[in-house]
Chain A
């Protein structure tokens, strides 16, 4: 399968009063044609910043892409002109956000908002664009789409709004869809509906999806491959089932173990949850060693010397840790 989007050694710095914060530190990722790639990590790990870099939306100042490349089927995006980026955004790569209420304009009908996107990218009349909006609303499973297109965002429920966002994002048949925590603000039953919808649309249109989340459950549900981020680094990546059943990096293990998973057959005895001790380090004073070293139970002297590079340990499974073999043995 060919790579749709290739991110290589991407570095993004933010100038802050406390000093330079390296929010993305040599991030390399590949998004294949028609796959769903999950990016998982805690707040501040750089997962949303990766998405914004691809969209060319890193807030600047204070942010700056200081190194690396993002290539969309061979076309370099980090140096693309503003005009070209506007064509790409919404046309070839589009994005859906976490909070569907704040990302829709409250004073326009949802149909107009979808039509605006179509008018911008394609040579169509207003009536055709509106027709497309209605079509898209039908596609994402909104009942009575003709009527709903004339609704304002506040007249819709959270799940409906997120469907509108998805309809808007897909209205120009993008090749890549970036979903940044698309279901975090929604109830589980609605979340399940949105997951089903994304899966179905992905199957129909073949759009490649980058799914950003903090929820390993969402990853298990949707993603084909997953990349785990910590403090601006990708510390582990691989096929979803492999990462879930055979995580190698101590942080990935901690992340999976610290969540109370819903059991169908819960036991009487409830052990305390395993914790990842300590807190996420401040990005302005990262030492030269592994960013996770201070919280790691397997730390060795070399971990404090240099950030480990991410290396393949099996087919498609890469880890950035000096002590992989040791972790495996435990």
Chain B
């Protein structure tokens, strides 16, 4: 799927920490060799538990954390090698919306100014037209344009997330990275924002990189899904294939852990995962999931399984599938 890819990430590594005086060096392998691509106008979902490296991957794509190794390409733009002013200018092409609509908007700025700021910074449009552009953006995300003079605290969570969307859309980006954009919202508001995001994608041809721990939301919104565990992608496939036919034991456990909102008939058999993921500082040898895996073989504790195609572009890294 790399031919028409808008975003292509190859062997991305983000390590934190390093040598400390008088102490053993501790390196956190937050992202450890991740590759994926997102076709134009599509959505890639990244799922995983906290600490799996999904947010760090998103931040690395936006160049908001230092990259240890790897290439990131957005269309014709080599994001991973951009520096300083070139990087700043290119940011108009990739924007972000955040998880917490309360802390991601400046409480002392009027929401109109918040949405206008990227236009000023990136010098988009004529200065005299920018206020009108802001009002148009407000309409686009379903807010009344006369609300531009209010402050963030006068809005509800859902409305604030709409402001965040308007701000992200203001520079007409190709890619929007969404880090848990609906997990802080009530379910009724969540549905409104998800529908808005889909409509904007259809209207504007946006490409989303969608980070979430909510598998129901990911299944609804994403075209492709990557499952991360301890800094690596363990399974990656298109939406139908991944949910219908999960291959990796971790993916299966994750799917079976989701409570289903339907009547119980007592037939459900849940895969119980014990414990927590190991620390990304002292990575286990072999498969990183082996310690919690209900079906681990002896081999899994010694040899790291490669991420290989199991047919039709469905990638999974597990010795049991060989």
Contact = CB atoms under 8 A, between A and B. Distances in A.
A259 interface: yes
Contacts, number: 134
Contacts of A143: 275
B187 interface: yes
B217 interface: yes
Interface string A193-233: 10110000000000000000011111111000000000000
Nearest to B259: A217
Contacts of A216: 187, 261
Contact of A220 (B158, B216, B221, B260): B260
B50 A279 contact: no
B259 A221 contact: yes
Interface in B263-280: 263-264, 270, 272-276
B318 to A, nearest CB: 17
Contacts of A254: 188
Contacts of B244: 264-266
A42 B192 CA distance: 14
Given A42-B188, A190-B276, A261 B216 contact: yes
B259 A275 contact: no
Nearest to B255: A262
Contacts of B257: 188-189, 191-192
Contacts of A268: 240
A220 B219 contact: no
Contacts of B254: 188-189
Nearest to A221: B259
A220 B261 CA distance: 5
Contact of B49 (A187, A260, A262, A276): A187
A43 interface: yes
Size category of the binding interface on chain A: 35 or more
Contact of B260 (A193, A241, A262, A272): A262
A11 B188 CA distance: 26
B50 A258 contact: no
A220 B264 CA distance: 7
A177 B247 CA distance: 39
Interface string B262-300: 111000001011111000000000000000000000000
B82 to A, nearest CB: 34
A255 interface: yes
B219 A241 contact: no
A119 to B, nearest CB: 31
Contact of A273 (B194, B215, B262): B194
Nearest to B48: A187
Contacts of A43: 186
A195 B259 contact: yes
A198 B260 CA distance: 17
A258 B191 contact: yes
A256 interface: yes
Contacts of B199: 272
Interface in B93-109: none
Contacts of A100: none
Contacts of B255: 262, 264
Given A193-B272, A216-B261, A220-B264, A42 B186 contact: yes
Contacts of A273: 191, 194-195, 220
Contacts of A105: none
A270 B220 contact: yes
Given A217-B258, A259-B216, A241 B263 contact: yes
Contacts of A196: 270, 272
B253 interface: yes
Contacts of B215: 188, 262
Interface in A37-95: 42-43
Contacts of A192: 256-257, 259, 270, 272-273
Nearest to B47: A188
A102 interface: no
A225 to B, nearest CB: 13
Nearest to B157: A43
B213 interface: yes
Contacts of A188: 49, 213, 215, 254, 257-258
B42 interface: no
Which interface residue of A188, A219, A255, A272 has the most chain B CB atoms within 10 A?
A188
Given A218-B259, A262-B260, A276 B243 contact: no
Contacts of A274: 191
Contacts of A190: 49, 276
Given A43-B186, A260-B221, A262-B243, 10 more contacts: A189-B273, A192-B257, A193-B274, A216-B261, A217-B261, A221-B264, A259-B190, A261-B260, A266-B243, A272-B199
14 contacts: A188-B258, A193-B274, A215-B261, A216-B187, A216-B261, A221-B264, A255-B187, A258-B190, A260-B221, A262-B216, A264-B244, A275-B188, A275-B191, A280-B186
Interface of A: 42-43, 143, 157-160, 187-193, 195-196, 214-221, 240-241, 244-245, 254-256, 258-266, 268, 270, 272-276, 279-280
User: 3 closest pairs, A vs B, by CB?
Assistant: A217-B259, A260-B220, A258-B191
